[in-house]
């Protein structure tokens, strides 16, 4: 609400309205105001699909971000459950009671729905890791695959019976097949071994697998189909012998429910179909694998609409693709699904883009202006990658400093370059990079010609020609996998590197992560002594290469202000110490620091000394993998949540200015006091809060103080600045000044911070004052209004005022009579 004890003049109202309107245009409200809002990209890892057996409009998807449901045959999706600790891997739908749906995940255990996926509950009576879940074809038994056992339920999960140990030598059971003729006959695989049970999982015997690793099974009649790393196989004698049907790695296999002669195999190079029971195969996802942006990536699940065999959905590492004409044409069909994996975010100063680098899914750009997202010609990158045409090994992306449209994306055989923001790419192949994963590229020179690349297994490489040719640097002896590499924005020759080193002693190899520093662009490195082992993330102040933040798995954050020579632990962000995976620093105000752990996102406005929580989401799929501040609009924070895509928040506290006391009628030449309070109603802290008071022209002897921050005076303008105002904090400002001229004046005051304000109407106060000539050093009341801007006489005079005038007149000396003539 508007706070003022005095009625402003018409001119003041117009000025105030114009000010509020102009500020409103400067800081438009956004969809993510003070709350995190998904901004894409859509798609991401989808692990399993299942159609409702009786309603072709209802489809379920188990994704890396939770469980989604579609009620329009896959055209659009809604997130129906993500309050679980692990991405669901598999779905099971009862064949004759189709509203019963189950999902399984390693740590999420077993989830159940009885209303066709609209709502879900976690079964408290099942506490084992769940790798796979299947209903028997007749619906009589629900089976769950755990580590070394199969669990079975004959009452839809109300009770469970644990089967016998499959084998003491296996680490994890992987894939389950239930015999189509007998729900007691089970087949399971575990890495390189296969097992069979004839009694519902009570006892087990070795069983011949077609290949070392089986990803999926399908069975129709007596024929078993198997998708394996060595190809697609079938057996007509329940596994006594196998026949190779299709070469190449296969991740999924499905038989058309209307025609057992039609078989689909999802390979690394696209979807293959056979219409003659596996004798011949045709690639049905375009003439060139990976040639369409609607490609779902590596196929993980294939779902055929039982009511329309030409309608297929394919789930993969990059989302869902759909065809309604039997594969002649395909389109992306994951609207509403946001299940991107562990994506890294990169701000591009000088542009409105936030770049997204997601291994396997590809490269994307989010418009910071409107939140829309676009892929960066990922099909061309797939072709340039040249190894697995349905995947992109996009482990790193460099946005060249100062050139936001110039990108470098390492691929398996070299580095891809783009000069147009990812619209087109050119590959520069280098023999040193063949089959090598480049996990980070940074610039180490002001002209961005010298670059440093961090690889997964072969150390560091350097390029001196902008990333075309590369050569290995001196090896980092004793250090193995490198987890993080950053160059200081203010001095790119200063580098910090988290590397893994093996600890001496012990029967089994053990490792810890350590921090290394280079002051010469990576030619030489020194190990720094840090407070904790098992380091996770490192971030450098954008204005000071010696101010560094470091996180560890167990002990939160530490800070150094001398380049890592000494460290101080920072207070642990609430509510409890959790592994912090992401750190971001505001490029315009380095005192603002963000951290993201497995459940929450926190913000500090004092360099990490205190924290406020922006998001406390509790247990849900995903954790905070990357944070970045929009360089153009630093009040906007973007968070990459593993399995959930990218979300954005616009931090917009509500500042408020009130006039706590002021003299509306003052005497000329007499010092008057004016007091104001600038406060923050939240919900988050405001920074660089500036309160400005414009005194009447000609004001003299002006002074000002504030209980929070400092004040300065320039002519008749007072400016008081508080570096930060926490929620419910305030700054009390007192101003003293002398006004020599008689008249009516408007005293204007306003406050603003670095962030947009959710309610601008309470940021401005106007006080109207009347300056009068004092009589005998006393300011006489009356004559002139108390706030309406009137001047001179008018009004009534009280008896007390008359008495005061008489006393003043009596005190004056008598005037002598003047001589006549």
In contact, 425 and 398? CB cutoff 8 Å: no
Paired strand residues for 655: 680
pLDDT tens per residue across span 653-691: 999 999 987 668 888 888 999 999 999 999 999 999 999
Question: Is 80 exceeded by the pLDDT of residue 501?
Answer: yes
Overall average pLDDT of the 790-802 stretch = 39
What local confidence, expressed as pLDDT, does residue 812 receive?
A: 47
pLDDT tens per residue across span 240-277: 999 999 998 999 999 999 999 999 999 877 789 999 99
Q: What percent of the chain has pLDDT over 70?
A: 86
Cis peptide before 18 (omega within 30 of 0): no
Question: Is 50 exceeded by the pLDDT of residue 637?
Answer: yes
Q: Which strand (E) or helix (H) includes residue 805?
A: helix 799-811
Residues 6+ apart with CB under 8 A from 633: 368, 650
Range scoring the smallest mean pLDDT among 172-181, 293-302, 459-468, 774-783: 774-783
What local confidence, expressed as pLDDT, does residue 803 receive?
A: 45
What local confidence, expressed as pLDDT, does residue 391 receive?
A: 59
**CA–CA distance, 479 with 514 (Å, rounded to integer):** 9
What local confidence, expressed as pLDDT, does residue 390 receive?
A: 54
DSSP three-state, residue 383: helix
Overall average pLDDT of the 181-195 stretch = 93
- DSSP assignment of 431-461 equals GGGTT--EEEEEE-STTS--EEEEESSS-EE
Domain contains 696: yes
pLDDT level of residue 435 (50, 70, 90 thresholds) = low
Domain contains 58: no
Q: What is the 3-state secondary structure (H, E, C) of 715-773?
A: CCEEEEEEEEECCCCEEEEEEEEECCCCEEEEEEEEEECCCCCCCHHHHEEEEEEEEEC
What local confidence, expressed as pLDDT, does residue 396 receive?
A: 86
pLDDT level of residue 572 (50, 70, 90 thresholds) = confident
**CA–CA distance, 589 with 600 (Å, rounded to integer):** 22
pLDDT level of residue 144 (50, 70, 90 thresholds) = very high
Give the number of domains in the chain.
1
Domain contains 322: no
pLDDT level of residue 624 (50, 70, 90 thresholds) = confident
pLDDT level of residue 62 (50, 70, 90 thresholds) = very high
CATH code of 798's domain: 2.60.40.1170
Paired strand residues for 80: none
Question: Is 70 exceeded by the pLDDT of residue 29?
Answer: no
Domain contains 688: yes
Overall average pLDDT of the 437-454 stretch = 91
What local confidence, expressed as pLDDT, does residue 182 receive?
A: 96
**CA–CA distance, 622 with 320 (Å, rounded to integer):** 20
Token duo for residue 415: 């580095």
Domain contains 673: yes
Tell me the pLDDT of the chain averaged across its residues. Answer: 85
pLDDT level of residue 777 (50, 70, 90 thresholds) = low
What local confidence, expressed as pLDDT, does residue 359 receive?
A: 79
pLDDT level of residue 618 (50, 70, 90 thresholds) = low
Q: Tell me the C-alpha to C-alpha distance, in Å, between residue 551 and each of 167, 512, 640, 641.
A: 41, 14, 18, 18
Question: Is 60 exceeded by the pLDDT of residue 588?
Answer: yes
Question: Is 70 exceeded by the pLDDT of residue 778?
Answer: no
Domain contains 155: no
Domain contains 794: yes
**CA–CA distance, 773 with 309 (Å, rounded to integer):** 95
Return the higher-pLDDT residue of 309 and 790.
309
What local confidence, expressed as pLDDT, does residue 750 receive?
A: 97
Question: Is 60 exceeded by the pLDDT of residue 361?
Answer: yes
pLDDT tens per residue across span 73-87: 999 999 999 888 778
Q: Which structural domain, as residue segments, surrounds residue 735?
A: 10-29+654-807
Domain contains 816: no
Token duo for residue 90: 């598999």
What local confidence, expressed as pLDDT, does residue 7 receive?
A: 30
Q: Looking at beta carbons, which pairs linking 123-130 to residues 24 or more positions away fall under 8 Å? A: 123/157, 125/157, 125/158, 125/159, 125/160, 126/151, 126/157, 126/160, 130/89, 130/90, 130/104, 130/105, 130/106
Closest CA relative to residue 727, chosen from 766, 758, 750, 764: 758
pLDDT level of residue 479 (50, 70, 90 thresholds) = confident
pLDDT tens per residue across span 373-429: 888 988 888 778 765 555 566 778 999 998 989 999 988 767 899 999 999 999 887
Question: Is 80 exceeded by the pLDDT of residue 563?
Answer: yes
What local confidence, expressed as pLDDT, does residue 619 receive?
A: 66
Residues 6+ apart with CB under 8 A from 498: 482, 483, 484, 485, 513, 514, 515, 516, 535, 536, 537, 538
Paired strand residues for 666: 771
């Amino acid at each position: 609400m508007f706070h003022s004890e005095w009625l402003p003049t018409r001119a003041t109202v117009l000025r105030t309205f114009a000010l509020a309107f102009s500020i409103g245009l400067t800081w438009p409200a956004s969809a993510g105001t003070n709350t995190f809002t998904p901004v894409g990209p859509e798609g991401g890892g989808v692990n399993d699909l299942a159609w409702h057996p009786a309603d072709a409009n209802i489809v379920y998807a188990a994704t890396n971000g939770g469980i989604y449901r579609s009620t329009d045959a896959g055209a659009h999706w809604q997130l129906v459950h993500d309050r679980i600790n692990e991405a669901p891997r598999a779905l099971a739908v009862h064949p004759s009671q189709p509203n019963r749906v189950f999902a399984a995940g390693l740590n999420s255990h077993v989830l159940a729905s009885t209303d066709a996926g609209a709502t879900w509950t976690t079964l408290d009576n099942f506490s084992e890791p769940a790798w796979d879940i299947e209903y028997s074809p007749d619906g009589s038994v629900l089976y769950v695959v755990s580590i070394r056992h199969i669990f079975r339920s004959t009452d839809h999960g109300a009770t469970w019976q644990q089967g016998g140990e499959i084998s003491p030598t296996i680490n994890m059971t992987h894939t389950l097949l239930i015999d189509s003729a007998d729900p007691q006959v089970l087949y399971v695989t575990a890495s390189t071994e296969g097992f069979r049970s004839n009694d519902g999982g009570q006892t087990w015997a070795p069983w011949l697998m077609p290949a070392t690793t089986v990803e999926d099974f399908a069975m129709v009649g007596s024929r078993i189909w198997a998708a394996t790393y060595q190809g697609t196989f079938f057996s007509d004698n329940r596994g006594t012998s196998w026949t190779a049907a299709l070469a190449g790695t296969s991740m999924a296999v499905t038989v058309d429910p209307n025609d057992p002669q039609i078989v689909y195999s999802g390979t690394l190079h696209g979807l293959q179909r056979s219409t003659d029971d596996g004798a011949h195969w045709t690639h049905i996802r375009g003439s060139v694998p990976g040639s369409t942006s609607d490609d779902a990536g590596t196929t993980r699940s294939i779902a055929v609409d039982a009511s329309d065999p030409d309608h297929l959905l394919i789930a993969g590492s990059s989302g869902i693709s759909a065809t309604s004409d039997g594969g002649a044409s395909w389109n992306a069909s994951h609207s509403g699904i946001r299940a991107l994996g562990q994506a890294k975010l990169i701000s591009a100063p000088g542009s409105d883009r936030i770049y997204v680098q997601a291994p396997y899914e590809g490269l994307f750009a989010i418009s910071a202006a409107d939140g829309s997202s676009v892929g960066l010609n990922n099909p061309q990158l797939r072709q340039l990658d040249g190894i697995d045409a349905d995947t992109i090994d996009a482990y790193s992306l460099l946005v060249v400093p100062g050139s936001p449209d110039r990108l470098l994306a390492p691929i398996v055989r070299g580095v891809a370059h783009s000069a147009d923001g990812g619209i087109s790419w050119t590959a520069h192949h280098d023999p040193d990079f063949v089959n090598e994963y480049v996990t980070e590229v940074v610039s180490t020179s002001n002209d961005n010609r010298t670059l440093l690349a961090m690889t997964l297994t072969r150390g560091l490489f350097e390029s001196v020609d902008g990333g075309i040719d590369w050569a290995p640097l001196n090896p980092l002896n004793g250090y193995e996998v490198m987890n993080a590499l950053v160059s200081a924005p203010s001095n790119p020759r200063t580098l910090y590197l988290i590397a893994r080193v093996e600890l001496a002693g012990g029967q089994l190899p053990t490792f810890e992560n350590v921090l290394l520093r280079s002051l010469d662009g990576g030619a030489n490195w020194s190990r720094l002594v840090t407070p904790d082992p098992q380091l996770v993330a490192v971030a450098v102040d954008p204005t000071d290469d010696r101010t560094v933040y470091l996180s560890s798995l167990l002990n939160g954050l530490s800070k150094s202000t001398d380049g890592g020579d000494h460290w101080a632990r920072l207070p642990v962000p609430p509510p409890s110490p959790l592994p912090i995976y992401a750190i971001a620093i505001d490029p315009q105000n380095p005192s603002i620091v963000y951290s993201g752990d497995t459940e929450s996102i926190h913000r500090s406005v004092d360099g990490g000394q205190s924290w406020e929580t922006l998001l406390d989401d509790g247990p849900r799929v995903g954790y905070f993998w990357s944070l970045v501040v929009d360089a153009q609009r630093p009040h906007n924070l973007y968070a990459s949540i593993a399995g959930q895509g990218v979300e954005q928040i616009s931090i917009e506290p509500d500042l408020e200015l009130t006039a706590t006391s002021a003299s509306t009628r003052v005497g000329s030449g007499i010092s008057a006091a004016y007091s104001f309070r600038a406060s923050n109603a939240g919900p988050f802290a405001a920074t660089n809060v500036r309160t400005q008071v414009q005194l009447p022209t000609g004001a003299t002897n002006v002074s000002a103080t504030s209980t929070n921050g400092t004040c300065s005076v320039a002519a008749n303008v007072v400016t008081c600045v508080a570096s930060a105002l926490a929620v419910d904090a305030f700054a009390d400002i007192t101003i003293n000044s002398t006004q020599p001229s008689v008249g009516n004046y408007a005293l204007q005051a306003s406050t603003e911070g670095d962030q947009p304000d959710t309610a601008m109407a309470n940021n401005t106060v106007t006080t109207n004052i009347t300056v009068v000539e004092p009589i005998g050093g006393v300011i006489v009341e009356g004559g002139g209004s108390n706030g309406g801007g009137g001047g001179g006489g008018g009004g009534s005079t009280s008896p007390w005022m008359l008495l005061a005038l008489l006393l003043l007149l009596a005190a004056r000396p008598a005037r002598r009579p003047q001589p006549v003539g």
